[in-house]
Structure 1
Amino acid sequence: MDRETDGTLTDTYVAAIQHDRADVPDDATLVGVVRKPTPWFHAAVDENRAALAPSAELLETFQATVDDLKMRGICAEGAHNAAWDEVGFEAAYRDHLEESADARAALADVVDRLEDGESLALVCYENTDKKRCHRTVLRDVLETEGAEVRD
């Protein structure tokens, strides 16, 4: 890619957008990457690419594990992060991105858009200051495929 003309890739979470705390370029297209966006999520982003979200099965397994850990007395943030490891979330999500035809097509589209000079910001629900999130894995995958990532 020609780094002089390519768009940049960043990420944020929806509450940061809603409270004007998102650190994204002004011209960035806000691309939701959630499986089931709420109406208020749709209102905060320019588009949603559900194919780039974790699979429904992974999300269900993850949430059941989070709920179980919380029932055992672990705080919400701790349960979230512990469940991430317990279900092998990152590896399962990477497998989904590699094996799903819809996800592969969506990844290729994002890379093409970046190569065409469009700046994109990936958006989901999680505040990554406190919780692990698929957005960071997705950014890594896109960077591996040639996208310029802005920190």
Structure 2
Amino acid sequence: MARGTLADTYVAAIQHDLVNLPADATRVGVVRRPTSWFHAAVDENRPELGPPEPLLESMRDREEEMKMQGLCEAGAHNAAWDQVGFEEAYREHLETEADARAALAALDDRLASGESLALVCYENTEKKRCHRTVLREVLEERE
């Protein structure tokens, strides 16, 4: 059986028809704190695949500092991402946190069985980095 396809997008792109996802793709939210309108746009949510709260807090704090220094929102976001070592810390979370490991393995099994998945979070990645793209890379590395 062929492995399912893997896509990723952000919730506003779904809500405003800005993305063309495979028709059979299950929309899997990967946010820690989904809103009701987020739930309405996805088929399920796996909060354990969202970044851990302390990492999000350090990212937000650093991003605010960067904005105060005059960087635009996207510039501050990406600079903070680098300065807090976000990608490395998130990958470590996926490798070491039992709930995250189990959720990652479950998604990998679903892909292996032929199911197509679309990972969804809040962040528009046209200009900003996002954990969702790191998660997609991790799943692709498991093939």
Residue of structure 2 equivalent to 1:36: 33
Contact 1:13/1:124 (8 A) holds in 2: yes
> Do 1:12 and 1:23's aligned partners in 2 also have CA atoms closer than 8 Å?
no
* Equivalence map 1:1-151=2 (5 Å): 2=1, 5-146=2-143
- TM-score, normalised via structure 1 length: 0.91
TM-score, normalising length from structure 2?
0.96
**CA shift digits 1:50-83 (9 cap, x unpaired):** 1111111100110111111112221111110100
Match of 1:149 in 2: none
Does the 8 Å contact 1:6/1:118 carry over to 2? yes
> 2-side partners of 1:23 and 1:127: how far apart?
15
- Aligned to 1:107, the other structure's residue is in SS state helix
Give the Cα–Cα distance (whole angstroms) in 2 for the partners of residues 63 and 23 of structure 1: 30
- 5+ long unaligned stretches in structure 1: 147-151
Quote the Cα distance in structure 2 between the aligned partners of 1:95 and 1:82.
20
By how many angstroms is 1:45 displaced? 0.6
Aligned residues: percent identity? 68
2-side partners of 1:38 and 1:66: how far apart?
23
Structure 2, unaligned stretches of length 5 or more? none
CA distance in 1, matches of 2:20, 2:78: 24
Which consecutive aligned stretches of 4+ in structure 1 deviate over 2 angstroms post-superposition? none
